[in-house]
């Protein structure tokens, strides 16, 4: 297997589809983290009363590392949230190990989910006057289109 010099990382690993095991473990970890955040039993005061959504958990092929994509309610204080989650990662890993049946709990990393920002950007582009003039006018529910025929 050919490897490129990129810190020993297999360049083809990013192109391969995720295995069913990776997907299943990622989903179980997502549910476990969501339950932990829902309970609000965090020791860190910055995580205690914050509503956090866990949108996805990506697990490495060897199940050693996991990246959880999170978003605070309203998207406020993202940097402070990430710092608090980084501090709480060992605690969260231990809790996930108890909740998800794995030999070894993966090392948790947290990232802000930017898909909401991207969706908002696409929505604003679609609503812009330049794009709206190229789209057909919406048909009202009470108006009938003439039958072709």
Nearest Cα to Cα of residue 83 among 35, 44, 43, 41: 44
Categorize the per-residue pLDDT at 145 as very low, low, confident or very high, splitting at 50, 70 and 90.
Answer: low
Q: How many domains does the chain have?
A: 1
| Domain membership flag for residue 27 | yes
pLDDT in tens, 52-68: 889 999 999 998 999 99
| Domain membership flag for residue 24 | yes
Is the pLDDT at 86 greater than 60? The verdict is yes
The answer to whether residues 32 and 99 touch, using CB atoms and an 8 Å cutoff, is yes
pLDDT in tens, 114-143: 877 777 788 888 788 877 777 777 766 665
| Domain membership flag for residue 37 | yes
| Domain membership flag for residue 119 | yes
pLDDT at 146: 59
Domain of residue 109 covers 16-132
| Domain membership flag for residue 2 | no
Question: How many whole angstroms separate alpha carbon 15 and alpha carbon 17?
Answer: 6
CA distances from 52 to 6, 82, 116 (A): 34, 11, 14
- The pTM score is 0.70
CATH number of the domain to which 55 belongs: 3.30.300.20
pLDDT at 90: 93
| Domain membership flag for residue 7 | no
Q: What is the DSSP letter of 144?
A: -
Query: Tokens standing for 3?
Result: 């490897």
Helices first, then strands: H and E counts in the chain: 5, 3
Computed over every residue of the chain, the mean pLDDT equals 80
């Amino acid at each position: 297997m050919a490897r490129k010099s990129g810190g020993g990382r297999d360049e083809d690993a990013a192109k391969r589809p995720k295995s069913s095991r990776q997907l299943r473990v990622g989903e179980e970890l997502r549910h476990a983290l969501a339950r932990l955040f829902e309970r609000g039993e965090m020791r860190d005061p910055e995580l205690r009363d914050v509503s956090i959504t866990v949108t996805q958990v990506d697990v490495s092929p060897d199940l050693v590392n996991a990246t959880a994509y999170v978003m605070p309610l309203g998207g406020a204080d993202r940097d402070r949230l990430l710092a608090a989650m980084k501090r709480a990662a060992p605690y969260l890993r231990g809790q996930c190990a108890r909740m998800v049946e794995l030999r070894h709990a993966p090392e948790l990393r947290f990232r802000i989910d930017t898909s909401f920002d991207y969706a908002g950007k696409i929505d604003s582009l679609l609503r812009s006057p330049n794009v709206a003039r190229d789209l057909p006018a919406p048909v009202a529910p009470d108006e009938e289109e003439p039958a072709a025929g």
